[in-house]
Amino acid sequence: MRNILNIMLIDDDPINNLISRETIRHFDPAINVVEYDKPDEALEYLTTQSKQRTQNLPDVIFLDLNMPLINGWSFLDEYKHILQFFNTDIELFLLTSSINHKDIQKAQSFPIITHYISKPLTIRVLEKIKNDQAPY
């Protein structure tokens, strides 16, 4: 069983962030949730943390694909360059409304993606993640 203390949400839609945040809080109120509606700000935070000796990193990241300016794919391209500097493993889940088969196939080509999850985030998905099971 995995211990999840910190979760990062990256989604430009405040309603989806609200739903995910409240689902996480209902699942386990002790989990700290950090939200970013701009992927570049999340990248900046993660990059800054990667340069510090005492890193404050999430255990899990839920990333949306369809966002303006910097979409989930662009985020992943940048994110993979800073991974080597982290002092811990971060599980990254795509949490998206996209059911496009091409997106699902593309996600499988990114080894840094743990799983592809369809919105909304549910208690059942969180339970499976905590128990190291595939969330679908």
Write down the pLDDT at residue 1. 67
Strands (DSSP E) contained in the chain are 6-10, 32-36, 60-63, 91-96, 113-118
pLDDT tens for 31-70 read 999 999 999 999 999 999 888 766 789 999 999 999 988 9
For residue 84, give the DSSP letter. Answer: G
Banded model confidence at residue 85, pLDDT cuts 50, 70, 90:
confident
Cβ distance 90 to 62 under 8 Å?
no
Quote the CA–CA distance of 62 and 88 in Å, as a whole number.
17
Q: What is the pTM of this model?
A: 0.92
CATH number of 6-130, picked from 3.40.50.2300, 3.40.50.970, 3.90.740.10, 3.40.190.10: 3.40.50.2300
For 87-127, write each residue's pLDDT tens digit: 788 999 999 998 888 988 989 888 999 999 999 999 999 99
